[in-house]
Structure 1
């Protein structure tokens, strides 16, 4: 099995543009694993995690189809720290397990071409994940007024709701101090694409150097 892994954790505040940056890395040739997708899988109907959440929070968290009402539940936990910590305690361990399962499948694949793995994980620092698991920590950052504007536009939130979500997360400037690389996303998509292309080439070079002697 080929185990030449190079894993980049991609994080940042809500509205910073993590999904856009991940898409641009994918276009460069990286394989993207998104923690939000894994979280959806973790709470699918019938899962042990969703059953535990129902036991903790009641059936009111479900929609008419028996699925977790993610948008409504998000509003609840972003305004209630105690509920948020309980939910994260149920979801995060399963997301971590699913990530490692997916990673091993990628590395064991016959079509494995030693890809750069981009793990999009919004709550990287909040979840207190061991940063030594990653070759690089990348934080996508943007001015606060842009974050608020993007949250309101994307989620149809009020300004107060957008601010509450941002307040529930570690501040952007604190995240930046924990990063190896900060990608600022205040400008055009062309500027962002140029930055991503530059860093992708750098990751390729670093991975080759890492395994040169092996």
Structure 2
């Protein structure tokens, strides 16, 4: 891969998408694996035949897209189902993300992977990791506000992810997202200048 990659990660509600947009506004190309997953599981998505075969037509909405709520309930109740889902989706997300990254140009690129530290194949692709971190109460409040899920449902999602302290231990760098957007933008700008100095691909 020509561009050096920064692996951007963080727990649910940490603010990964906001940070990714800030990097994009600074001219850094971004590939978000959540966007890739949505494309693969949308109407006519490449993953839908395999998912319907593995889990039945009940996980397919009338428009042909994945019924995310139904699938979320299924995998949270059944670890084997979660492993089966990941076995189908993860290789396809990896391949499509790599294809998108191969088409990009810029000083370096951001690859957004919510479960970066749990996914060795993605870790192998990145030059460095950047964690967006927030207090757990802040995470819960943000997800409840945007999704309508109950606080208990959000905490269940958080409990299924790598513990916050472990993410902080593994990350090469951390952006703290407990304040306002101005404070967040200052941190992103500082990281951008650092990555320009350390990772930028020399001009041809």
TM-score (norm 1): 0.88
Structure 1 contact 151–157 (Cα < 8 Å) conserved: yes
- The separation in 2 between residues aligned to 1:154 and 1:47, in whole angstroms, is 25
How many Å apart are 1:47 and its aligned residue? 4.6
Looking at structure 2, the residues matched to 79 and 211 of structure 1 have their Cα atoms a distance apart, in angstroms, of 49
For residues 159-198 of structure 1, the aligned pairs below 5 Å read: 159-198=151-190
Cα 1:26–1:48, aligned 2, differ >3 Å: closer, same or farther?
A: closer
- Considering only aligned residues, what root-mean-square deviation do their CA atoms show, in Å? 2.0
Deviation at 1:75, TM superposition (A): 3.5
Structure 1 counterpart of 2:129? 137
Name the SS of the counterpart of 1:125 in structure 2. helix
- Residue 103 of structure 2 is aligned with which of 90, 105, 129? 105
Task: Give the one of 111, 123, 132 matched to 2:115.
Answer: 123
Determine helix, strand or coil for the equivalent of 2:51: helix
Selected match of 2:26 from 25, 28, 37: 28
CA deviations 1:141-184 (Å, max 9, x no partner) are 11111111111111111122111100111011101111110111
Q: Tell me the CA shift for residue 190 of structure 1.
A: 0.5
CA distance in 2, matches of 1:130, 1:58: 29
Q: Pick which of 78-87 and 144-153 moved more.
A: 78-87
Partner of 2:94: 96
- Consecutive unaligned residues of structure 1, counting only runs of 5 or more, are 107-111
Please report how far the alpha carbon of residue 140 of structure 1 lies from its aligned counterpart in structure 2 after TM superposition. Answer: 0.7
Structure 2, unaligned stretches of length 5 or more? none
Whether the aligned pair in 2 keeps the contact of 1:18 and 1:120 (CA below 8 Å) is yes
Q: Indicate conservation of the 8 Å contact 1:138/1:182, yes or no.
A: yes
Asked if structure 2 preserves the Cα contact closer than 8 Å seen for 1:152 and 1:162, the reply is yes
Residue 68 of structure 1 corresponds to 66
Aligned to 2:84, which of 80, 83, 86?
A: 86
Normalized against structure 2, the TM-score is what? 0.92
